[in-house]
């Protein structure tokens, strides 16, 4: 257990009289702002309010132990007082409440209380409970790896400590002795659910399982909170690792303006806690210490009231938010030129796809010091289950190439934090089938960060994962996941089919300021051989490659199926059918001009993918052709995909029946050509 500094004397804690008065001012400011915001809500002027009242002692006490110049924080939605104490202005908070265009955190795109202030190292938050914990670890990992002595504070309510993200982050923070302080504000309820129905044991005791100190503190006593927090920060700064602090506190109002707390707690209970109001506790201390007389109290009260009124007025007068469309991407890509001719084979040493990946990773990591690669078993000596990351730990050290615990949400969440703190994360998910635990981090966090902050945070993250079937991988080593992720604005999704493109897309992805998911067709890891240019080689994201031209039909495919389509096209040519092959390479953004050109060229399109047909990516291509190029069609668009069974049954006799084949493509192409 961490030593709890129970000094009831602020100077013993290193706090000056002025700092103490300032703490009081910040608490009062938060309370008055809170009251004002509730009033606005009752007047029907703002739709949604999250209250801080009751938590001010915990939050201001914690903030005063941090240094916004070098420390980072990942506050949660109730942290109004924390943000004010860190230097966010009351006006900025009102801009968020009114969802105005100049709301610096969200530009009107998120509900209020979704903090973000890059200038104060306050990282953007979503509404998803607990996703911030892995982010905090990522930031801390980057700080640690770059030799900074910065500390990361991450907070939540006690309800959040039941989420997997919390536990995965605690584990990782303890493993790496990361400079993180987990601050849990236990107000006894998660909306209506009382603590006894959500937390087994005590929150602070959860630290024990991860071998880190856990401390319980009276969250309504700002001096106790400050003492514990300062000790935890000092411990983290000294390299001694993370601490979990459980601050016992209470919220005086309902969970949010949409909640009715009368149905789950009594007025007497609220009243009991009001007697321990953190503002009263500090005020009493100040009066007893002769630091707060009537004059000063009146002055502080007036100052704070004026500040709230001024901030409200200014925010109210600010222009409304109108821009809903910009900043989905940091570098939007709108393909405008169709692929006209087959891409010439590049010159270079012939190698397979997995070798190309490994060589490229060595190159990009040598080129960019800020890159870090991590995932399950990626570190040497194993170097990845497919050997894609072989030699990287030896070459670049364990801070830049490291194993992750078996926790996919953590892998992606840590990547978010590394990216936030200036790194270029390259996350490996061992098999695409196991990416699903990270769906939330990818869709809610990775893809939305740029948009939700209107471009104030960028995430140049690469997510690599082997995907697809045809290798007897059975139901859980064969899945095609592209339809899930290509659907999501904010992500870029690419699928190479040749070793050279794998290299080129990887270089482009690492250099791209947006998150890019690279789906590596693992059937092609050793099957696809080809020349790969030496040194930096970039294939533009959003650009399809015409592999074959043909006047009878065009096969549109990607990944393993593009590889098969080329083989099918060459065989079809021998029987007099000219089938063009358009290898999409990039699913989002989609190279529409090249698709359109293919449709115009021969009016017949066969879309091939190994994912099942229903709701698959081919449906998007077919729909776009129907919407935009119907008049050019000479035959209905055909889709050749796997049937509606989970991909793919294990026995060779089963898999060969459902996995799309070269012969299957040929058969479909013949029928289409004859239409
Ligand atoms: C993953 C997720 N599940 C559910 C919700 C809905 N939700 C919002 S706040 C909340 C309760 C959180 O309680 P706690 O962590 O104790 O924090 P408090 O609000 O009490 O400060 C819930 C269930 C959500 N935002 N995210």
**pLDDT per residue as tens digits for the range 273-326:** 999 999 999 999 999 999 999 999 999 999 999 999 999 999 999 999 999 999
Nearest to 448 by CA among 461, 436, 437, 435: 461
* Residues 241-252, mean pLDDT to the nearest whole number: 98
Q: Is 265 left (phi over 0), alpha (psi -120 to 50) or beta?
A: beta
**Domain stops at, among 504, 532, 560:** 532
Q: Which residue has the tokens 């390479």?
A: 585
Cα–ligand 1 centroid distance for 165 (angstroms): 13
| Integer CA distances (angstroms), 474 to 278, 367, 471, 479, 649, in order | 58, 38, 8, 9, 5
Q: Which residues contact 94 (CB under 8 A, 6 or more apart)?
A: 33, 37, 311, 312, 314, 315, 316
Residue from 165, 185, 186, 190 whose mutation best tests the ligand 1 pocket (most atoms within 8 A of CB): 190
Cα–ligand 1 centroid distance for 197 (angstroms): 14
Residue from 191, 192, 194, 206 whose mutation best tests the ligand 1 pocket (most atoms within 8 A of CB): 191
| Integer CA distances (angstroms), 547 to 467, 490, 563, 585, 594, in order | 22, 28, 9, 11, 12
Nearest to 519 by CA among 618, 647, 642, 432: 432
Domain CATH number, residue 397:
3.40.50.970
Range of the domain at 132: 11-317
Do 304 and 386 sit in the same domain of this protein?
no
In this structure, are strands 371-375 and 424-428 parallel, antiparallel, or unpaired?
parallel
| Smallest CA separation from ligand 1 atom 20, residue | 190
- DSSP string for 607-639: EEEEEESTT-HHHHHHHHHHHHHGGG-SS--EE
Cα–ligand 1 centroid distance for 416 (angstroms): 21
> Residue 202 CB: number of other CB atoms within 10 A?
15
Is residue 83 in a domain?
yes
Is residue 538 in a domain?
no
* Residues 559-566, mean pLDDT to the nearest whole number: 98
**Domain stops at, among 473, 498, 532:** 532
End-to-end CA distance of the chain: 77
Q: Which residues contact 189 (CB under 8 A, 6 or more apart)?
A: 159, 195, 251, 255, 264, 265
Is residue 339 in a domain?
no
The three-class DSSP label of residue 416 is helix
pLDDT of residue 348: 97
Torsion of CA 510, 516, 522, 528, to 10 degrees: -60
Residue from 129, 165, 206, 273 whose mutation best tests the ligand 1 pocket (most atoms within 8 A of CB): 129
Do 479 and 596 sit in the same domain of this protein?
no
Which atom from ligand 1 is nearest to the alpha carbon of 185? 21
pLDDT of residue 339: 82
* Residues 15-40, mean pLDDT to the nearest whole number: 97
Which atom from ligand 1 is nearest to the alpha carbon of 440? 1
For the record, the structure tokens of 580 come out as 């063009």
Q: Assess whether 477 carries a catalytic annotation.
A: yes
Cα–ligand 1 centroid distance for 530 (angstroms): 51
Residues in the chain: 675
| Smallest CA separation from ligand 1 atom 12, residue | 190
Which residue among 141, 176, 477, 609 is the active-site one? Answer: 477
The three-class DSSP label of residue 244 is strand
Cα–ligand 1 centroid distance for 259 (angstroms): 12
Domain CATH number, residue 663:
3.40.50.920
* Residues 244-253, mean pLDDT to the nearest whole number: 98
Cα–ligand 1 centroid distance for 126 (angstroms): 12
The three-class DSSP label of residue 371 is strand
With a cut of 90, say whether residue 5 has pLDDT above it.
no
**Domain stops at, among 532, 563, 583:** 532
Do 428 and 567 sit in the same domain of this protein?
no
Q: Which residues line ligand 1 (CB under 6 A)?
A: 78, 127-129, 156-160, 187, 189-191, 255
Question: Per the structure, how many domains does the chain have?
Answer: 3
* Residues 525-535, mean pLDDT to the nearest whole number: 97
What is the pTM for the complete model shown?
A: 0.97
pLDDT of residue 6: 53
Which atom from ligand 1 is nearest to the alpha carbon of 127? 25
């Amino acid at each position: 257990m961490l030593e709890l500094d129970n000094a009831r004397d602020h100077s013993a804690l290193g706090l000056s009289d002025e700092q103490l008065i300032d703490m009081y001012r910040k608490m009062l400011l938060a309370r008055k702002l809170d009251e004002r915001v509730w009033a606005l809500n009752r007047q029907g002027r703002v739709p949604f309010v999250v209250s801080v009242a009751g938590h001010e002692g915990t939050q201001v006490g914690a903030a005063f132990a941090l240094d916004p110049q070098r420390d980072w924080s990942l506050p949660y939605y109730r942290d109004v007082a924390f943000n004010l104490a860190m230097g966010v202005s009351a006006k900025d908070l009102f801009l968020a409440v009114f969802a105005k265009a100049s709301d610096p955190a969200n530009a009107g795109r998120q509900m209020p209380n979704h903090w973000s202030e890059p200038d104060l190292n306050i990282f953007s938050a979503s509404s998803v409970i607990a996703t911030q914990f892995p982010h905090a670890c990522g930031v801390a990992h980057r700080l640690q790896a770059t030799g900074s002595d910065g500390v990361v504070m991450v907070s939540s309510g006690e309800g959040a400590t039941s989420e997997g993200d919390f536990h995965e982050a605690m584990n990782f923070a303890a493993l790496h002795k990361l400079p993180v302080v987990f601050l849990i504000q236990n107000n006894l309820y998660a909306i209506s659910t009382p603590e006894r129905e959500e937390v087994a044991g005590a929150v602070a005791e959860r630290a024990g399982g991860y071998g880190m100190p856990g401390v319980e503190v009276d969250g309504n006593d700002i001096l106790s909170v400050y003492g514990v927090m300062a000790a935890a920060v000092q411990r983290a700064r000294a390299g001694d690792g993370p601490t979990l602090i459980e601050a016992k506190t209470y919220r005086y109002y309902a969970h949010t303006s949409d909640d009715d707390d009368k149905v789950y707690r009594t007025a007497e209970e609220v009243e009991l806690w009001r007697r321990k109001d953190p503002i009263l506790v500090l005020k009493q201390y100040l009066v007893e210490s002769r630091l707060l007389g009537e004059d000063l109290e009146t002055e502080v009260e007036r100052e704070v009231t004026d500040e709230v009124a001024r901030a409200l007025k200014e925010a109210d007068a600010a222009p409304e938010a109108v821009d809903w469309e910009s900043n989905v991407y940091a570098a939007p890509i709108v393909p405008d030129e169709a692929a006209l001719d087959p891409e010439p084979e590049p010159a270079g040493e012939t190698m397979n796809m997995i070798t190309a990946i490994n060589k490229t990773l060595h190159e990009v990591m040598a080129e960019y010091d800020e890159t870090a690669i991590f995932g399950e078993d990626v570190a040497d000596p194993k170097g990845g289950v497919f050997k894609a990351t072989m030699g990287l730990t030896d070459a670049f050290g364990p801070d830049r190439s490291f194993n992750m615990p078996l926790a996919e949400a953590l892998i992606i969440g840590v990547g978010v934090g590394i990216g936030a703190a200036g790194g270029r994360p390259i996350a490996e998910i061992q098999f695409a089938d196991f990416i699903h635990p990270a769906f939330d981090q990818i869709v809610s966090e990775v893809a939305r960060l740029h948009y939700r902050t209107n471009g104030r945070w960028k995430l140049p993250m690469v997510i690599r994962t082997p995907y697809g079937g045809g290798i007897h991988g059975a139901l859980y080593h064969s899945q095609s996941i592209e339809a899930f992720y290509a659907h999501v604005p904010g992500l870029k999704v690419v699928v190479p089919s040749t070793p050279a493109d794998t290299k080129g897309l990887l270089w482009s992805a690492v250099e791209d300021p947006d998150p890019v998911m690279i789906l590596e067709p693992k059937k092609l890891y050793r099957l696809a051989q080809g020349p790969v240019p030496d040194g930096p080689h970039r294939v533009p994201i959003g650009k399809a490659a015409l592999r074959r031209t043909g006047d009878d039909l065009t096969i549109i495919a990607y990944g393993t199926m593009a590889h098969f389509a080329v083989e099918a096209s060459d065989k079809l040519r021998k029987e007099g059918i000219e089938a063009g092959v358009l290898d999409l390479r990039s699913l989002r953004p989609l190279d529409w001009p090249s698709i359109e050109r293919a449709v115009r060229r021969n009016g017949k399109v066969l879309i091939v993918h190994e994912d099942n047909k229903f709701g698959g990516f081919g449906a998007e291509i077919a729909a776009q052709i129907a919407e935009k190029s119907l008049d050019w069609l000479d035959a209905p668009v055909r889709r050749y995909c796997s049937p509606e069974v989970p991909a793919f049954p294990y026995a060779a006799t089963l898999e060969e029946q459902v996995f799309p084949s070269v012969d299957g493509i040929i058969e479909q192409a013949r029928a289409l050509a004859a239409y």
